[in-house]
Amino acid sequence: MMQLVENATTEFKRQYTDDIKKCVVAFANTAGGVIYIGIADDGNIVGVADQNDTILRVTNMARDAIRPDVTLFVTPSLETIEGKDIVKVSVEKGTASPYYLSGKGLRPEGVYVRQGASSVPASETAIRNMIKATDGDKYESARSLNQELTFNATEKEFAKREVPFGSEQMRTLKLINADEIYTNLALLLSDQCVHTIKLAVYEGGEKEVFRDRREFEGSLLMQLGEVYEFLDRYNRVHAEVKGLSRIDTRDYPEEALREALLNALVHREYSFSGSTLISVFDDRIEFVSIGGLAPGITLDDIMLGISLSRNENLANIFYRLGLIEAYGTGIPKMMRSYSGYPMQPIIETSDNAFKITLPNQNNDVVSPITRESALNEREKVVVALLNAKEPIVRTDVEEALSVSQGTATRIIREMLAKGLIKAIGQGKNTQYSRI
């Protein structure tokens, strides 16, 4: 007499029931297994009256009720045990886990794993780990946990720019993968996007007194438009009369605001849940996005226009919509928009954050935060150099610090922006002295 028991890789079913699909999902997500239809829970062999109909139902269930496509890993077959006909369903571990019930989605109620002799819902952490193991570390191409997405705001933005946005374009743009499943890129552009921008307006130059604060939600494209409109209200016009002419100057070059905001959205690390932060002070605007520089890229590379996008597919969508011109042009354009101004943008990075500070060109008072608190070791050397010799030129900085021309230029720009030094003259003959 054949002795069978239920365990981590064996499941008994007296007859075909809809519940079998949970076992298939669990085996495909774990280590594979076998489902015997025609054997009771206690191991008693009862047989199956119509094997062919049962096999057809198993085949249809695997094709229609489970995503991604699991049919290659499910093999039903006829078998006779102790003279009774049963159906044996062999399930291999799949290569595209997590598999889930198409009616439930990538949620614990739709994703099952095997624990002992039971098929149980997977935790959200387990689901994320399976996605990461299968799809890799690239956030935007991984499958979204939320598959019930709508794109009302994104559809309006595409229509406004006369760019088609249908199911075919969504596949081309990689919002939908080969298994017809929404990716995290789709989540970012959906009305259900979980990532937000928090914006605060402060009195003066410290984070002490709020004037206003907002949190922007929804599709990244909608957030982009709403945040820029909000910032534009605080980008005041300063009028100066020279002779018979009136010259209007905005606090911040519009191109700099645009590029700093685009950079914060396109290049941030979305695998972390924190919000992008924008702080508006009287003398500056700070943009802080999660995620430092992409691996293999330095700040000097960024200043030279070299770009390695963390979210290449998102950047491609922004490019198609005409929001960015080409990879690597944003930061140089932002810096050029401040050409001729005494204060320059400051770019700072850490392992986990990227910060752009845009100085207010019409503000006469520079806060201490913008000055001495940002003094680093290299800047201290330049200050010491100025104490010994004044004025200096760029090559003096190169020699004193043993750095390249590009690095010396960046250090000088940052010190100008912080109000630590001032420029004398223009072009190749520019000299620098203390304030």
Q: What angle do CA 87, 90, 94 make, to 5 degrees?
A: 150
Tens of pLDDT, residue by residue, the chain (435 residues) = 456 788 999 999 999 999 999 999 999 999 999 999 999 988 889 999 898 999 999 999 999 999 999 999 999 999 998 889 999 999 999 988 999 998 888 889 999 999 999 999 999 889 988 888 887 778 898 899 888 999 999 999 999 999 999 999 999 999 999 888 899 999 999 999 999 999 999 988 888 888 899 999 999 999 999 999 999 988 888 766 666 566 667 889 999 999 999 999 998 989 888 899 999 999 999 999 988 777 667 777 776 666 667 889 999 999 999 998 766 677 888 888 888 777 888 888 887 888 999 999 887 554 444 444 446 778 888 888 887 788 899 999 998 898 888 888 888 888 887 777 888 887 778 898 877
- Pairing, β 84-91 against β 33-37: antiparallel
CATH 3.40.630.10 fits 371-435, yes or no: no
Cα–Cα distances in angstroms (integers) from residue 231 to residues 215, 261, 278, in the given order = 13, 10, 10
Q: Which of these, 86, 90, 63, lies nearest to 74 by C-alpha position?
A: 90
- Which sequence spans correspond to the domains of the chain? 10-130, 139-189, 193-308+316-367, 371-435
277's enclosing H/E stretch is strand 276-280
How far is residue 27's CA from residue 62's CA, in Å, rounded to a whole number? 12
CATH architecture of the domain 193-308+316-367 equals 2-Layer Sandwich (3.30)
Topology of the domain comprising 10-130 = 3.30.950
How far is residue 181's CA from residue 67's CA, in Å, rounded to a whole number? 8
How far is residue 359's CA from residue 341's CA, in Å, rounded to a whole number? 10
How far is residue 229's CA from residue 233's CA, in Å, rounded to a whole number? 7
Taking the alpha carbons of 167, 173, 174, 178 in that order, is the dihedral positive or negative? positive
How far is residue 142's CA from residue 130's CA, in Å, rounded to a whole number? 10
How far is residue 146's CA from residue 181's CA, in Å, rounded to a whole number? 10
Which pairs from 167-176 meet CB under 8 Å and 24+ separation?
Answer: 173/313, 173/316, 173/317, 173/320, 174/140, 174/141, 174/313
Strand partners, 100: 67
